Structure 1
Amino acid sequence: MTRNDDPSPRSIDLDRVEALRLLGSVSLGRIVFTRHALPTIRPVNHVLDDGDIIIRTHEGAALTSHARQADGSGVVVAYEADVIDPDTHLGWSVVVTGYARLVTDPDELARVQKLVHPWVQEHSMAYAVRIHPDLVTGVRLTGVDGRADGD
């Protein structure tokens, strides 16, 4: 097989605007934070609000207590979302790194609670976390013809 006949996907870096647009087009992602000095990953649903990622959480959640212990500047987290076809391996992936802060203003909390409807209802999801993206990276996996699934 010649290099031009290689059916493997090609990786194309996304700019910040396109990466955030794609992240905002889906409602499920994974938040990564440190717990007991080890990385912890949780799947969560989200919305994009004025360029920030908003998720809901509950009193007993590790992220809630972790963000609460921060000195007000927030706690560093990573957030990842993707759409990749398991058969063609085409699609995209976006990773955001930034500071997560509990939303503490009662009016702001009430507003964002209306924006994000938690998929899991076993806990009272009375808290919200706002993640401000400082570093945004993303890749689009395209076929040889430039086509990508998942948009």
Structure 2
Amino acid sequence: MKKVKLSFAALAVLALVSCGDKKEAEPFGKATEEPVATETTTETVSEPVTESNPLADQGKEIFEGKGTCVSCHQPSTKVIGPSLKDISATYKAKDASIVTFLKGEADPLVDPTQFEVMKANFAITKQMTDEELQSLEAYIKSF
């Protein structure tokens, strides 16, 4: 009976030892990592990517904000007024001043048929400083 008790005790100790935390065997050699897939995205840019021009950046803010120009002019499309690309091309080709026009001191060069509509906006542009008008010109000529 003593042998049975001793065998039973040895079996119990063996069971306790073998039921502890099991560690998985680590592979030999250098561990390898699985490659991580990365996602590439593309953005659509509506305006050409150019070096930042602080004067043109300020002009864009005025164009889209207090100047209310964006309600009639778009970068590539004629809405009520001509597109910015058309305005830019015409004023560059004729070496003309957009500032002089916005002050109401020059005839329209791009689309004279819309001049009466534009004249209503001279109340806004005539209140702008020379710097604001120059920034608007820089923004428009950036197209």
Does TM, normalized by the shorter one, top 0.5? no
Higher strand proportion (structure 1 or 2): 1
Higher helix share: 2
Which TM-score band applies after superposition, normalised by the shorter structure? under 0.3
Structure scoring higher RCO (CA < 8 A, sep ≥ 6) equals 1
Find the structure with the greater CA-based Rg: 2
